[in-house]
């Protein structure tokens, strides 16, 4: 059993499956993928991710506003976010976080929105999905400030072991994507070797970041198999053992996904 812990099903390039999301999900299921988490990135796509999750018993979703989807001078309202989180198929908050790579001048706005999502996590008890890029110190500072009683996850992790260890110390999980298979990702592979087995997740982040041998092509949920196979081999454990462990980790982090 495998779980794609982070995918954007409303944004997939479905050309390889005749334009059919049903066919794309069936292709993943045929490769052992048993659940999918469809990620919210804006107020505009909240309805779309909830609709996808309502259509399929093995799909759940999150709701939130990605730091690069924030509108200048504006921030999502806590009341809106709390209302969206009441939906029974919404099992997590986000993705949220900080990204200074493209918009360093928007740091203050991003931090304001991140704090709002963390407050929603406190109120609801739902885990938070964190995106972080070139914002290591501020991301960790805000997570420490929030002192969440429940775990969350740093998704599509690309930072170093020091940040991973700091996040693990705060109770967070680490999720790895197809980036770990890239030729130039040796430092990330060193991190992948050190993350405790019970705190590791796998994801595609599809339609982005397809793993080798599909790098450069549209990513699909079925390719989480390549990520998991690569990591199992890297860590020297049987694939079935690795798949079962990461699935157990997912269901521990997102307990509402156990309901079906």
- Domain count for the chain, please give it: 1
Residue with tokens 């049987």: 238
Domain assignment present for 1 = no
Helices (H) and strands (E) in the chain, counts: 9, 8
Which pLDDT does position 259 carry in this prediction?
67
Distance CA 47, CA 184 (A): 37
What's the pLDDT tens digit per position in 80-126?
Answer: 999 999 999 999 999 999 999 988 889 999 999 999 999 999 999 99
Percentage of the residues of the chain whose pLDDT score is greater than 90 = 95
Which pLDDT does position 73 carry in this prediction?
72
Which pLDDT does position 102 carry in this prediction?
87
Residues of the chain with pLDDT under 70: 259-260
Domain assignment present for 244 = yes
- Could you tell me the CATH number of the domain that includes residue 58? 3.20.20.140
Q: Is 205 left (phi over 0), alpha (psi -120 to 50) or beta?
A: left
Domain assignment present for 126 = yes
Asked if 213 contacts 254 with a C-beta cutoff of 8 angstroms, the reply is no
DSSP run (H or E) holding 169: helix 161-169
**Structural domain harbouring 132:** 6-259
Asked if 156 contacts 209 with a C-beta cutoff of 8 angstroms, the reply is yes
Domain assignment present for 231 = yes
Which pLDDT does position 100 carry in this prediction?
95
DSSP letter at 149 equals S
Residue with tokens 């980790």: 249
Which pLDDT does position 205 carry in this prediction?
98
Which pLDDT does position 219 carry in this prediction?
98
Domain assignment present for 170 = yes
Domain assignment present for 209 = yes
Quote the pTM value: 0.97
Domain assignment present for 122 = yes
Which pLDDT does position 47 carry in this prediction?
97
Which pLDDT does position 260 carry in this prediction?
58
Which pLDDT does position 16 carry in this prediction?
94
């Amino acid at each position: 059993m495998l779980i794609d812990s982070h995918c954007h099903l409303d944004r997939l390039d479905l050309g390889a499956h005749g334009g059919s999301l049903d066919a794309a999900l069936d292709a993943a299921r045929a490769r052992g993928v048993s659940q999918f988490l469809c990620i919210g990135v804006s107020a505009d796509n909240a309805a779309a991710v909830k609709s996808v999750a309502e259509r399929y018993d093995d799909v759940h979703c999150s709701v939130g506003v990605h730091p690069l989807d924030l509108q200048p001078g504006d921030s999502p309202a806590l009341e809106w976010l709390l209302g969206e989180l009441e939906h029974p198929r919404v099992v997590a908050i986000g993705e949220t976080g900080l990204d200074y790579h493209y918009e360093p001048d928007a740091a203050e706005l991003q931090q304001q929105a991140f704090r709002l999502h963390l407050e929603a996590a406190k109120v609801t008890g739902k885990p938070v999905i964190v995106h972080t890029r070139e914002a290591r110190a501020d991301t960790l500072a805000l997570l420490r400030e929030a002192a969440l009683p429940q775990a969350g996850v740093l998704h599509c992790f690309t930072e170093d072991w020091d940040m991973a260890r700091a996040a693990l110390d705060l109770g967070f999980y680490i999720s790895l994507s197809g980036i770990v298979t890239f030729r130039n990702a040796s430092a990330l592979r060193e991190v992948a070797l050190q993350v405790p087995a019970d705190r590791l997740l796998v994801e595609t982040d599809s339609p982005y970041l397809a793993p080798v041998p599909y790098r450069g092509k549209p990513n699909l949920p079925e390719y989480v198999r390549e990520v998991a196979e690569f990591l199992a081999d890297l860590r020297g454990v049987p694939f079935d053992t690795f798949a079962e462990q990461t699935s157990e980790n997912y269901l521990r982090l997102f307990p509402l996904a156990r309901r079906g």
